[in-house]
Chains A and B, each alone.
Chain A
Amino acid sequence: MRRLLSLTHPIHLVSGLTIWGIWFVAIYAGLSVACSVAPPEPESDMLTGINVGVGLATLVTTALLLWLAWASVAAGRKAELRRECYFAYISAGMFLFSAVSTLFVGYPIVFLPPCL
């Protein structure tokens, strides 16, 4: 179990994208439920609590992924085996990609109303 937590394990090739996936499902499901339970007035356009909520989730997730990317690079520097270093660097790239993806996919909250 400890071995899996180390950022040099190849499992982290997919953990960045898994976090991205969980965030993605969460904002999509959250948005759908929010729109079916308490849709905001159309007049408020994109300035609604829902947009703000999704935005915050996006920023927090992006920050987390960026931190993990940085930590992976650090782990790769310290790694003893060539294999570990290899996987850590690729994982770092995956975390970075996931962070950019999170920001990119979350961006439309600045120009679209949530439920129309």
Chain B
Amino acid sequence: MSDTKDATLTPEVRRLQQGMDEVWGNPKGLRALTVVNHTTVGLRFMVTGAVFFLIGGLLAMLIRTQLAFPDNDFMSPEIYNQVFTMHGTVMMFLFAIPILEGLAIYMIPKMIGARDLVCPRLTAFGYYCYLFGGIILFSSLLLEMAPASGWFMYTPLSSGEYSPGPGSDFWLLGITFVEISALSAGVELVVSILRTRTQGMALHKMPLFAWYILAMAVMIVVGFPPLILGSILLELERAAGMPFFEVAGGGDPVLWAHLFWLFGHPEVYIIFLPGAGIVSTLIPVFAGRPIVGYGWVVAAIIIMGFVSFGLWVHHMFTLGIPQLALAFFSAASMLVAIPTAIQIFAWLSTLWLGRPRMTLPMLWIIGFLIIFVLGGLTGVMLALVPFNWQVHDTHFVVAHMHYVLVGGMLFPLMAGLYYWLPQVSGRMPSERLGKWSFWLIFIGFNVTFLVMHWTGLLGMRRRVFTYDTAMGWDIYNLISSVGGFMMSAGVALLILDIALHFRFGRKAPQNPWGADTLEWAMPKPPTAYNFVSLPTVETRHPLWEKPDLSRTIYEGRHGLAHIDHGRRETWGSDALTGKLRETIHLPSNSWWPLFAALAIAAVCISLLVRVYWVGAVATLVAVVLLLRWSWENGAHPGKAPEASMAPSDPPLHYHTMNGPGVWCMSVSHLANGSLYLSLLFGWFYLWTVAPEWQMPDSSPLSMPMLVMGGAALTLGTFWLAKLVRRLRRGNDAGLGGGMYLAGGLGVLQSVLLMAVIWQAQLAPTETAHDATLLVALLYVLIHALLGATLCLLQGLRVGYGYVSAKVPMEPVVVLRFWYFHLVVYWSLFLAIWVLPTVLGGAS
């Protein structure tokens, strides 16, 4: 193994490294808030996530204290209900997902040989959304007005009538805010993994961890929007009285359950997949051989990603859905056993064929295996409908989900923590203290939750604040509480260990574990730009096959080793083959992410305190800030010094028409499409299933105006497509005027849509039918307005010279937006006008 310290640094290389530091380095002081670098923001994500973990853990200890003895009055029922609701919410939304996102944000560019993620400002924006959303949500606990309807917020318990206080609003707004963060990370991780791998790293040569994160990111993108929609609808019900989930108005509380679990089940796998990714990374390293069955594992990841979207109803087995429908979901849930088992046996055979070393990270991996396998086995049991009917909503389920989540996520995360700690700090973890904390946590966990299965089988429900001694649950609860405190002691020791580590840990060698992936080929602690020069990698195990890579990278002997242009650059490569396609010019530090997130926080808070005019102003400000942010793109001088002129090979991405921006727009539309499909699902669901649904005899919407609006949209889209085709041929004559024309058509469509809404005289607070129509129309109206705005801004940018035949990328991005809107508009027309008219008012 060679070391970056062994590198021979010529004055030229030194100058290169200094230049890199200047261009990529993080500013100090207040300007540290502008940092967009993935290493820094990834660490911020993880540290914030760890703080929320401690808060969530504290809440767990309160719960265990309350349940330690029968008839305990340590907490009042109201406080207890807030505590368990917040424990679930904090752990799921503010700890598990963000900390894994943080890990992916930190690690992915380093593993695939890139210098940063593809949308650095989005990384920072995501972090601020997470931080502010988390603070808003958490503040409710300090104000003693926390949500108290359980972490899945079933309506009508969470609705205005049964939860009149602001608790539910805190949850809905805070969580939606945090989800914006998850979506931002999801989108850019997908595009980064597909498009910024270093030269030669074909799809089937990338590290397995990247496959896991790719699957996780796609799942976030598709899986989160249903809950965002649900939260918007429920908040509209609570704030404006639109009865989406209220039976009397034609809504249905079961719709909330569907929307929640459509998100909620994939979420479990969103949490598990990165954990499994860590396991798949560590096991080959400590077995000293490549993972066996790479292709099998990739197949298993993809199967998990898909099948996990077909399981959501297994959280709803007792809701009174016909048993045959339940059986479909039951069978699909059992199927997950197969990809899980494939991975477990691939890991086992890797160990079998290798020479496994027992190290501290490996200890956590073994803990993972034991706990996760047990959780998986009870998971298969729970998939069986008749058994599920017995143990659903008991402590058996509580035990099961802690086994899968703690086993599947926390243990691998700790393994990863100890594994990658030297990469972050340059020091080796302690063996002794680390082992102590492992055993305390491992034993404490099992003492708490193994017994809890039994408590559940004896009939103890979840979410009860106390129990009668006659039930015979006393001793088991006491054991669980003791185990819980043992686990806390382990966590305390772990924190101590990490704190001491940064002070006393002994210096780590370049590649302390003998790993195979690129993140070990950089100086420690890592530089902001990761690699001085970007290597060509055509193997799955670069550091095993070329042990001197660390040194040669550091000596600037590979690609993109220039900095005199002052740009942050990384490679853009073909999604499939890893062939070089462009040089991606990444934006630098910026205030816009922070400002935009602050504006959105203002929106949330004004909605919470129900001062709607402030909310409206703040929304406007947020939109303006986001557009202002987007203004500094492409050939804007603030972003790109002399970019429109600079030659480079491969070409800078905005000189091409298929750069990462185009990909980001497509992936965002995956999310947007998922939101739209959830809305359509809500419409059809309420139409066919809601008990009191009322469909008027004829549609209140004006068909001619809807069709005219659609015609304007269609014309605009085809016009834009024509402009882009001409641009592709290098012809930008009349581009600016053309953009204004498309924008004008967008404005026309918006006006027509407003007229439709005005003319329809909807009564959205009376019936769920009108409320859903209104939301659907507003959804397309927002798209129409945004489409128009983007075109008008493009016209302006053409005038400034930021967009031209030389810099042709942005119109392609805008065109994708219009295509999406076109499909949405006409399919929505079909769903809300044509079908009801053809089928009549039948409900």
Please list the residues of chain A having a beta carbon within 8 angstroms of any beta carbon in chain B.
Answer: 10, 13-14, 17-18, 20-21, 24, 27-28, 31-33, 35-37, 51, 83, 86-87, 89-90, 93-94, 97, 101, 104-109, 112-116
Question: Within the assembled complex, what's the spacing in Å between the Cα atoms of A30 and B204?
Answer: 38
Residue in B303, B309, B331 whose CB lies within 8 Å of A104: B331
Q: Contact at A90–B299, with CB atoms within 8 Å?
A: yes
Question: Within the assembled complex, what's the spacing in Å between the Cα atoms of A44 and B327?
Answer: 19
**Interface membership of chain B positions 284-304, coded 1 if the CB is closer than 8 angstroms to chain A and 0 otherwise:** 000000000001001100110
Q: Contact at B302–A13, with CB atoms within 8 Å?
A: yes
User: Shortest CB–CB separation between residue B691 and chain A, in angstroms?
Assistant: 10
Question: Within the assembled complex, what's the spacing in Å between the Cα atoms of A35 and B324?
Answer: 11
Q: Contact at A93–B299, with CB atoms within 8 Å?
A: yes
Further contacts, 8 of them, CB under 8 A, given A18-B306, A27-B328, A37-B688: A20-B306, A32-B325, A90-B298, A94-B299, A104-B331, A104-B335, A105-B335, A116-B323
Query: What would be 29 A-B contacts, judged by CB atoms less than 8 Å apart?
Result: A10-B576, A13-B299, A14-B306, A17-B303, A20-B306, A21-B310, A24-B328, A24-B332, A27-B328, A28-B328, A32-B688, A36-B688, A83-B577, A86-B204, A90-B295, A90-B299, A93-B299, A94-B299, A94-B303, A97-B299, A97-B303, A104-B334, A105-B331, A105-B335, A106-B328, A108-B328, A112-B323, A112-B324, A115-B324
B338 on the A face (CB < 8 A)? yes
B773: which A residues are within 8 A, CB to CB? none
Q: Contact at B302–A35, with CB atoms within 8 Å?
A: no
Given contacts A17-B307, A108-B327, contact A31 B332 (CB under 8 A): no
Question: Within the assembled complex, what's the spacing in Å between the Cα atoms of A18 and B338?
Answer: 18
A35: which B residues are within 8 A, CB to CB? 322
B708 on the A face (CB < 8 A)? no
Q: Contact at B310–A24, with CB atoms within 8 Å?
A: yes
Q: Contact at A116–B322, with CB atoms within 8 Å?
A: yes
A37: which B residues are within 8 A, CB to CB? 688
B353: which A residues are within 8 A, CB to CB? none
Residue of A nearest to B218 (CB): A14
B203 on the A face (CB < 8 A)? yes
B689 on the A face (CB < 8 A)? yes
Question: Within the assembled complex, what's the spacing in Å between the Cα atoms of A5 and B676?
Answer: 27
Given contacts A28-B325, A32-B325, A114-B322, contact A101 B335 (CB under 8 A): yes
B217 on the A face (CB < 8 A)? no
B295: which A residues are within 8 A, CB to CB? 86, 89-90
Given contacts A21-B310, A90-B298, contact A108 B324 (CB under 8 A): yes
User: Shortest CB–CB separation between residue B140 and chain A, in angstroms?
Assistant: 37
A89: which B residues are within 8 A, CB to CB? 295
Q: Contact at A114–B324, with CB atoms within 8 Å?
A: yes
**Interface membership of chain B positions 91-116, coded 1 if the CB is closer than 8 angstroms to chain A and 0 otherwise:** 00000000000000000000000000
Question: Within the assembled complex, what's the spacing in Å between the Cα atoms of A14 and B211?
Answer: 14
Given contacts A10-B203, A83-B204, contact A109 B306 (CB under 8 A): no
A116: which B residues are within 8 A, CB to CB? 322-323
Given contacts A24-B332, A108-B328, contact A31 B689 (CB under 8 A): no
Question: Within the assembled complex, what's the spacing in Å between the Cα atoms of A92 and B62?
Answer: 52
Residue of A nearest to B681 (CB): A29
Question: Within the assembled complex, what's the spacing in Å between the Cα atoms of A106 and B302?
Answer: 21
B202 on the A face (CB < 8 A)? yes
B688: which A residues are within 8 A, CB to CB? 32-33, 36-37
Question: Within the assembled complex, what's the spacing in Å between the Cα atoms of A97 and B688?
Answer: 33
Q: Contact at B306–A17, with CB atoms within 8 Å?
A: yes
User: Shortest CB–CB separation between residue A103 and chain B, in angstroms?
Assistant: 10
Within 8 A of A (CB), among B318-356: 322-325, 327-328, 330-332, 334-335, 338
Within 8 A of A (CB), among B166-194: none
Question: Within the assembled complex, what's the spacing in Å between the Cα atoms of A36 and B310?
Answer: 21
User: Shortest CB–CB separation between residue B585 and chain A, in angstroms?
Assistant: 28
Question: Within the assembled complex, what's the spacing in Å between the Cα atoms of A24 and B299?
Answer: 20
B204: which A residues are within 8 A, CB to CB? 10, 83, 86-87
Question: Within the assembled complex, what's the spacing in Å between the Cα atoms of A37 and B303?
Answer: 34
Question: Within the assembled complex, what's the spacing in Å between the Cα atoms of A105 and B325?
Answer: 10
B309: which A residues are within 8 A, CB to CB? 21
Question: Within the assembled complex, what's the spacing in Å between the Cα atoms of A17 and B295?
Answer: 16
B327: which A residues are within 8 A, CB to CB? 108, 112
B298: which A residues are within 8 A, CB to CB? 13, 90
